[in-house]
Amino acid sequence: MSTIKYKSWRGWLDIKRREFLKAAATTIVVAATPIAVTSNAQSKDSRKRKRYAMYIDVSKCYGCMACVVACAGENNVPIGGFRTWVERHVKPDGSVIFVPKQCNHCENAPCVHPCPTGATFRREDGLVLVDHDLCIGCGACVEACPYGARYMNPVTGTVDKCTFCDHRLAKGLLPACVEACPTGARVFGDLEEDGELKELVESQPVEVLKSWTGAEPMIFYKGLPKEANR
């Protein structure tokens, strides 16, 4: 043992850890090379970064509310609560336009830091979620959200909002609102993967709500009228 090992317990642990990893790597290469290749590929794939997002084409929305109804049914949204809503705006020329809204799963989410218990958090895949076991219903996040996307659930006494239907994503399903939309106004996907969402967001001008807040929303709109972005 060299003296370095006794400089501090942390330094000693670092050295032991390096020795262990070196020994473990040798064992894996010698004893289990074929398995190591497979499991390495799998773990690499499961660690691949995701950045979930949604695209909404306002020109395709005609305010049928199928998304709102589907969301409420899927997520047990109580009467008086909401996870998504559809705004109706009248443009100066008198035409009516519908704009679906919900939590934007902001990259720099203003609702996260004010939470005193850590109940509101941003997951690695970009979903901003609420841990209902930790939520004390103080409402700090409701106040902090510049989009009015959160509400106090009177049944659970905790804060609720859109989760991008994380329970459905885990089963490989689309969010309920996306599946229910009869016109395809809503498109969901992973911005880190080539696909329809990435193509739509990157191939044309798109807008986010209240970009000046610095929240960096992950819902991208095509054809957003200025009346809906105040």
Q: Closer CB to ligand SF4, residue 53 or residue 162?
A: 162
Answer yes or no whether residue 215 interacts with ligand SF4 by CB under 6 A.
Answer: yes
Secondary structure (3-state) at 186: strand
Tokens 């773990």 belong to residue: 43
- Distances from the Cα of 11 to the Cα of 31, 110, 207, angstroms: 30, 38, 50
Site for ligand SF4 in 75-134 (CB under 6 A): 75, 83-84, 86, 98, 100, 102-106, 109-111, 128
How long is the chain?
Answer: 230
* DSSP letter assigned to residue 134: T
Q: Closer CB to ligand SF4, residue 87 or residue 192?
A: 87
Q: Closest approach of Cβ 167 to ligand SF4, in Å?
A: 9
Residue 122 CA, distance from chain mean position? 7
CA distance 20 to 17: 5
Answer yes or no whether residue 53 interacts with ligand SF4 by CB under 6 A.
Answer: no
Secondary structure (3-state) at 219: strand
- List the structure tokens of 166: 């994380």
Q: Closest approach of Cβ 28 to ligand SF4, in Å?
A: 41
Answer yes or no: are the C-beta atoms of 212 and 47 closer than 8 Å: no
Q: Closest approach of Cβ 212 to ligand SF4, in Å?
A: 14
Q: How many residues bind ligand SF4 (CB under 6 A)?
A: 42
Site for ligand SF4 in 128-187 (CB under 6 A): 128, 145, 147, 149-150, 161-165, 175-177, 180-181, 183, 185-186
CA distance 80 to 82: 7
Tokens 């084409």 belong to residue: 57
Site string for ligand SF4, 1-40 (x = CB under 6 A): ----------------------------------------
Q: Closest approach of Cβ 178 to ligand SF4, in Å?
A: 7
CA distance 206 to 51: 17
Binding site residues, ligand SF4, CB under 6 A: 61-67, 71, 74-75, 83-84, 86, 98, 100, 102-106, 109-111, 128, 145, 147, 149-150, 161-165, 175-177, 180-181, 183, 185-186, 215
